[in-house]
Amino acid sequence: MKPFVSIVGAGPGDPELLTRKGYDRLTKAEVILYDALLDPGFLELFPANALIFYVGKRSGEHSATQEEINDLLVKYALEGKTVVRLKGGDPFVFGRAGEEIQALVAANIPFEVVPGVSSIQAGGADGLIPLTHRKVSRQLLVLDGHTAIRDGVDWKWLSSFQGTMAILMGTKTIQLLCQKLIENGMKESMPIGIVVDASLATSFTHTSSIGSIAEQGWTKEPKGPGIIYIGESVRVLEEARNASLEINVWKKDFARQS
């Protein structure tokens, strides 16, 4: 067979959010390199005879370097295997798919990218936080909270942003993030929402103001990934969020039974 690699977005964690095309590629794969997926249901989709590599990354814990992952993709593709690189969320949202594609292009290996549902979208849906909302938020900003603190950003510009901020990898530095925004002009009453384990039965949403978080921090230490949302859109569906408690409970009970 000719060399070919499918870079597939697995979605935010719930296997039911894997796209039909992603499912098709995954269930026909001969070699799979997969990330730290959030539901064991994905493993049940792997073909029994496939060669499986876990190459997941978590904060401070990498099972394989990016260079090693690139080398594995090239190696098995050149052997004529049907290779799937299964990545959490969407491959192009902090997924390093661009680096893997560069390695494939350098080796003259054809490829495709199968989009996935990003945790940004799933968190908004789970927490009833619209990413955009007419007359409230016409812009969406996606930010890596870890590198924003470490490497710095234009905090003056960020603090004046008129829209919804979606911040990944920021729960460990959330207090400092809020302090920086307030120091640079954002009002302390600005709503903030934190959605943990988006799309999973264990998901939960916490809402507050950046002033409260800046002063008191956030006492939760979630085991799963959390997405932070900052902007007036956080409060748009507050009434619906409170009223839909039974729906959320039903959804989680259904997930446990599935």
Task: Confirm if 139 and 164 have CB atoms less than 8 A apart.
Answer: yes
Domain boundaries, the chain: 4-117, 120-257
- The topology under which CATH files domain 120-257 is 3.30.950
- The topology under which CATH files domain 4-117 is Cobalt-precorrin-4 Transmethylase; domain 1 (3.40.1010)
E strand or H helix that includes residue 98: helix 97-106
For the question of whether the overall pTM of this predicted structure is more than 0.85, the answer is yes
CA distances from 35 to 38, 42, 144, 213 (A): 9, 11, 19, 31
Task: Confirm if 11 and 17 have CB atoms less than 8 A apart.
Answer: yes
Q: Catalytic one among 21, 57, 172, 252? A: 57
pLDDT tens for each residue of the chain, 258 residues long:
788 999 999 999 999 999 999 999 999 999 999 998 768 899 999 999 999 999 986 655 557 899 999 999 999 999 999 999 999 999 999 989 999 999 999 999 999 999 999 999 999 999 999 999 999 999 999 999 888 888 878 999 999 999 999 999 999 899 999 999 999 999 999 999 999 999 998 888 999 999 999 999 987 766 778 999 999 999 999 888 877 555 554 445 444 443
Q: Catalytic one among 87, 165, 169, 186? A: 169
Catalytic-residue membership of 220: no
Say how far residue 233 (Cα) sits from the centre of its chain. Answer: 19
Catalytic-residue membership of 169: yes
